[in-house]
Amino acid sequence: MRLKTAVLAACAGISLFPVPRAEAAGPKIGLSLPTQREERWVKDKQVMEAEAKKKGIDLRVQVTDNDAAKQVAQCENLISQGIKILILAPHDASSASVIIDKAAKAGIKVISYDRLVTDSPLDYYYLSFDNVKVGELQGEFITRKVPKGTYVVLAGSPTDNNAKLFREGAMKFIKPLADKGDIKIAMDQFVKDWQPSEAQKLCEQALTANQNKVDAVLAPNDGTAGGCIQALAAQGLAGKVPITGQDAELAGAIRIVQGTQSMTIFKDTRELGKKAIEMAVDLAAGKPIDTKGRTVHNNKKDVPSVLLTPLIVTKDTLDDMLVKSGYLKKEQVYRK
Ligand code: BGC
């Protein structure tokens, strides 16, 4: 009789006996993200949370809001919560090496997510896209469109190793033409914290200093491109000056369709987020990650790396690559 009651209760989802709070069956994993102010990072968080849920992982998320000291404190807090693995997208590449130290002392493995933590002699993994390739795609595109003329060259945040890699890739195409005298670089600047408003200010300055004679803008991502396009629009130049982007953000895609932004780079955050959770689960189970010998140098050592492939998107390919693939919603991209 008692058994029957218990079975019925179980079927109805009722517990007859007090039980401790249900713990997720999978490992406890920490995730530290730089921001949620950019669509790209919102997507990363959503994907990883959904994947973690599917796999029964207890994922503890912290967002630093572009504050390096806060990121250290938040990661210390995650470490004290007993996480097994830390997925870390650093705001400040170099100072985040302290987090690797602290994690190592607590026996926690770290996956440097999207952005490389630099200057650490310790062992960790890096999961990202081929970021030099991102810059190459931007640089090749813009120099093909504008092989001669005056350029504004912007790079991302100086605290982000990716910003350097994107710039390095793009400069492989821009520098030889600048050395030849075909391209004049009117401005070459990093953008603090990747802020669109900073990018806008820099573009305004460049336009003023060059009597609006700017022929091309290398903007490192869609956010900064948006800032620059506002500066161009104020001078009636939006859509007339080719400008790059990155991230396949909705706002960037809308501008591409409308003709004010020339391209973007598609880095499928669905793939990256999924891979991060997969790697974390393997590491928690003590399985090494097969990086097929690929590494990226962090100023101290070669870090074993998994690098996904970035893809270029233009007006001609946007529909297939971003809409049909389900990355962006048709009604949002083609809104009137
Ligand atoms: C990421 C870009 C992003 C930028 C600003 C970089 O590290 O790779 O996708 O646009 O940070 O958040």
Mutational pocket test of ligand 1: of 246, 261, 311, 327, the residue with most ligand atoms within 8 Å of the beta carbon:
246
Q: What is the pLDDT of residue 32?
A: 98
59: pLDDT strictly greater than 50: yes
Ligand 1 atom with least separation from CA of 160: 7
How many angstroms separate the alpha carbon of residue 191 from the centre of ligand 1?
A: 12
Is residue 231's pLDDT more than 90? yes
Alpha-carbon separation of residue 188 from 143, 150, 155, 177, 185 (angstroms): 16, 12, 8, 15, 7
Percent of the chain whose predicted confidence (pLDDT) is above 90: 92
Q: Which two tokens stand for residue 186?
A: 């009117």
pLDDT above 70 as % of the chain: 93
Q: How far is the CA of 38 from the centre of ligand 1 (A)?
A: 9
Please write down the HEC assignment for all residues of the chain: CHHHHHHHHHHCCCCCCCCCCCCCCCCEEEEEECCCCCHHHHHHHHHHHHHHHHCCCEEEEEECCCCHHHHHHHHHHHHHCCCCEEEECCCCCCCCHHHHHHHHHCCCEEEEECCCCCCCCCCCEEEEECHHHHHHHHHHHHHHHCCCEEEEEEECCCCCHHHHHHHHHHHHHHHHHHHHCCEEEEEEEECHHHCHHHHHHHHHHHHHHCCCCCCEEECCCHHHHHHHHHHHHHCCCCCCCCECCCCCCHHHHHHHHHCCCCCEEECCHHHHHHHHHHHHHHHHCCCCCCCCCCEEECCCCEEEEEEECCEEECHHHHHHHHHCCCCCCHHHHCCC
pLDDT-wise least confident of 6-20, 224-238, 308-322: 6-20
Distance between CA 56 and CA 50 in Å, rounded?
Answer: 10
Q: Per-residue pLDDT tens for 99-123?
A: 999 999 999 999 999 999 999 999 9
Q: Which residues have any ligand 1 atom within 6 Å of their CB?
A: 38, 40, 114-115, 156, 160, 162, 194, 221, 246-247
Using the predicted structure, report yes or no on whether residue 309 has a pLDDT greater than 50. Answer: yes
For residue 3, what pLDDT is reported? Answer: 47
Backbone phi, psi, residue 233, to 5°: -60, -35
Lowest mean pLDDT, pick from 10-14, 86-90, 105-109, 110-114: 10-14
**Ligand 1 center–CA 21 separation, angstroms:** 37
For 265, the token pair is 């780079």
pLDDT in tens, 182-203: 999 999 999 999 999 999 999 9
Q: How many residues does the chain have?
A: 336
Q: Of 133, 130, 128, 131, nearest to 279 (Cα)?
A: 128
Q: At residue 4, does pLDDT exceed 90?
A: no
Model confidence at 217: pLDDT above 90: yes
Average pLDDT over residues 167-176: 98
Predicted local confidence at residue 6, as pLDDT: 47
Does 5 score more than 90 pLDDT?
no
pLDDT tens-digit readout, 253-294: 999 999 999 999 999 999 999 999 999 999 999 999 999 999
Which ligand 1 atom is nearest residue 134's CA? Answer: 8
**What does the pLDDT read at residue 335?**
78
* pLDDT computed for residue 336 by the predictor: 65
Average pLDDT, the chain: 94
Give me the pLDDT at residue 25, please: 73
235 pLDDT more than 50: yes
Report how far residue 204's alpha carbon sits from residue 199's, in angstroms, rounded to the nearest whole number: 9
Contacts of 22 (CB under 8 A, 6+ apart): none
pLDDT at 170 over 70: yes
Tokens at 309, concatenated: 């492939």
Burial bucket for residue 175 (CB in 10 Å: 0-12, 13-18, 19+)? middle
What band does 176 get if pLDDT is binned at 50, 70 and 90?
very high
